[in-house]
Structure 1
Amino acid sequence: MTDPRPVRVGLQLQPQHTDYADIRRTVAAAEEAGVDVVFNWDHFFPLYGEPDGRHFECWTMLGAWAEATSRVEIGALVTCNSYRNPELLADMARTVDHISDGRLILGIGAGWFERDYDEYGYEFGTAGDRLRDLAAALPRIRARWAKLNPAPTRDIPVLVGGGGEKKTLRYTAEHATIWHGFGDVATVAHKCGVLDAHCRDIGRDPAEIERSVAVEHGPDELGPALYDAGVRLFTVGQDGQGGYDLSRLKDWLAWRDERNG
């Protein structure tokens, strides 16, 4: 698949091991630097480092970011489908869409972090259970958007995160406008091919789905090969422990600008 979209760069501010004031300052600095999207994540405890370290909730933070920013798109990478009723999540997303004047991306996945489930009283079940719940939720979210008054300001982009080839990528083909994955270049290229095949199976143009990956190294090492694999949204992850460092993000922004001409 040849994607005519320009390159975009995202920043995932992992809301752990820091104070909210530092998160707020970094969101502002990232927007000033020219980033396209700022993401957080949807967990209740740190994923690494001190397991009971400082941590903040996802969607209340997105509402604050909607007011604190004016240009960047915002979203979770990704919302756990298990934590909120699909209709409630649709309404929350519609509200943040309005607060931000149409800058929300609804990132969503099936969920995996068992401690969140156990300590907050959700049924963890099996991976199959969680995937079935995600499959049921995606059309319910869109159906609720069609009923809300006022309606969303735009067709809210839906980002599905995950690499399962039989189910997650199929749901992505059916419902998403962005796919987010992980892995080396060969893995990402393979997953993109699987997603293309699912799109063809249901009669959808694969070019309608933007391909997004998390990048842990600089653009000279990864950028051209991932671009050739079909990736157009490159997201740098930043942990708050010790303060957020935007130097690698700025390298990706410079590469984006050079690539886009």
Structure 2
Amino acid sequence: MTRLGYQIPNFTYPDTDSAGLFPVIARQAREADTSGFDTVMVMDHFYQLPMLGPPELEMLECYSLLSALAQHTSTARLSALVTGNTYRNPALLAKTVTTLDVVSGGRAQLGIGAGWFELEHDSLGFEFGTFTDRFEKLEEALQIIKGMFACERPSLDGKWYQVSDAINSPPPVGKIPIMIGGGGVKKTLRLVAQYADDSNLICGAEEIPSKLEALDGHCEALGRDRSEITVSWSGLACVAPTHDEAVAELDTFLGGRGLDLASMSDDEAAGVRAMVPHGDPDEIGELFSERLTTGIDGVTVSAPANGHIEGRVTLLGETLTKVLA
């Protein structure tokens, strides 16, 4: 299961056009694969997310990309962090992830969530619905997908989805782990306890203990062995050989997103930089060591500021592998 995941969240790189984009992405995946990361992940979105830039920035379809990255990696699992359930029929999704498993030699992982980016849905014609609708859909989808992964030929006449004797052939190479992303204590973590192998928490670090307590409660209520579930936490990092290099690379990234730190006071600039943990390997290692004291099993990390720079993903993997040792 995922204890150290590397997520690629952005595809907008300096002096890189469409023709040059995939080599930069593949290099990040190769560095992750050989530096200690056990899972390589990409976002399942069609527009860039507000915290990383305007919607028109580059965004690749995740399962086409993951299948291509399967040919450039050898050991890391391949996953979305996380699939928006609202974007695909669950039987199609099960077939897609199974195909990824076959072409990668058994390295597929299904990361999935209920979906949340309303602008993307409205612009591209995906039904968004209510919060309750999306979680009802997710639970029905999980029933279908788990059955198809296990080649049980599931049937379901649900409120949202209907399948009849759903065949999934060829079968997965092995068991495909299911990771559910999010931190909702009532719905998301209950679904984790009932259906998932992994939980990826998206929350403030100070909230982790209460999330773990809620997951424990759901497992107890459902009769699930809590030790069967691996819990990771999503974070950001900008690591470089020196602190000053990390600051410079972060400032370049933030400047490209319209934040002119040179025009800010020192306190204002420091506050903006603090949104992305940054520094040399010792600084980043210390920060993530503190995160692990909260009870999580691992972390999934993205490096939007400098992951595209050759060697930075390797440095991040080597740094965090020591933390998890």
Structure 1 CA distance for aligned equivalents of residues 98 and 88 of structure 2: 14
Give the secondary structure class of the aligned counterpart of 1:204.
coil
Query: Which residue number in structure 2 is paired with residue 34 of structure 1?
Result: 36
Does the alignment pair 1:221 with 2:287?
A: yes
1:137-148 alignment, distance < 5 Å: 137-145=141-149, 146=151, 147=153, 148=168
Matched residues, number = 254
Query: Which residue number in structure 1 is paired with residue 11 of structure 2?
Result: 16
Query: Which residue number in structure 2 is paired with residue 159 of structure 1?
Result: 179
**1:98/1:244 Cα in 2 relative to 1: closer, same or farther (>3 Å)?**
same
Structure 1 CA distance for aligned equivalents of residues 305 and 61 of structure 2: 14
Structure 2 CA distance for aligned equivalents of residues 258 and 90 of structure 1: 34
Structure 2 CA distance for aligned equivalents of residues 244 and 130 of structure 1: 37
The worse-fitting range, judged by mean Cα deviation, of 234-243 and 26-35 is 234-243
Query: Which residue number in structure 2 is paired with residue 196 of structure 1?
Result: 216
**1:137/1:51 Cα in 2 relative to 1: closer, same or farther (>3 Å)?**
same
Gaps of 5+ in 2: 14-20, 154-167, 237-276, 278-283
How far apart are 1:28 and its partner, in Å? 1.4
Query: Which residue number in structure 1 is paired with residue 74 of structure 2?
Result: 70
Query: Which residue number in structure 1 is paired with residue 315 of structure 2?
Result: 250
The one-character-per-residue Cα deviations of 1:108-164 (angstroms, maximum 9, x if unpaired) are: 000011122112211111111111110111011012221422211111100000111
Residues 112, 178 of structure 2: 8 Å contact kept: yes
Ranked by relative contact order (alpha carbons within 8 Å, sequence separation 6 or more), the top structure is: 1
Paired residue for 2:300, among 215, 224, 235? 235
Percent sequence identity over aligned pairs? 35
Structure 1 CA distance for aligned equivalents of residues 179 and 296 of structure 2: 14
Structure 1 CA distance for aligned equivalents of residues 226 and 33 of structure 2: 30
Structure 2 CA distance for aligned equivalents of residues 238 and 255 of structure 1: 13
Query: Which residue number in structure 2 is paired with residue 131 of structure 1?
Result: 135
Structure 2 CA distance for aligned equivalents of residues 128 and 243 of structure 1: 38
**TM-score (norm. length: structure 1):** 0.89
Question: Aligned letter for 1:185?
Answer: A
**1:215/1:175 Cα in 2 relative to 1: closer, same or farther (>3 Å)?**
same
Residues 111, 130 of structure 1: 8 Å contact kept: yes
How far apart are 1:60 and its partner, in Å? 0.4
Question: Aligned letter for 2:288?
Answer: L
Query: Which residue number in structure 2 is paired with residue 119 of structure 1?
Result: 123
The one-character-per-residue Cα deviations of 1:91-124 (angstroms, maximum 9, x if unpaired) are: 1111101111111110000001112211221111
How far apart are 1:252 and its partner, in Å? 5.4
Gaps of 5+ in 1: none
**TM-score (norm. length: structure 2):** 0.73
How far apart are 1:201 and its partner, in Å? 0.5
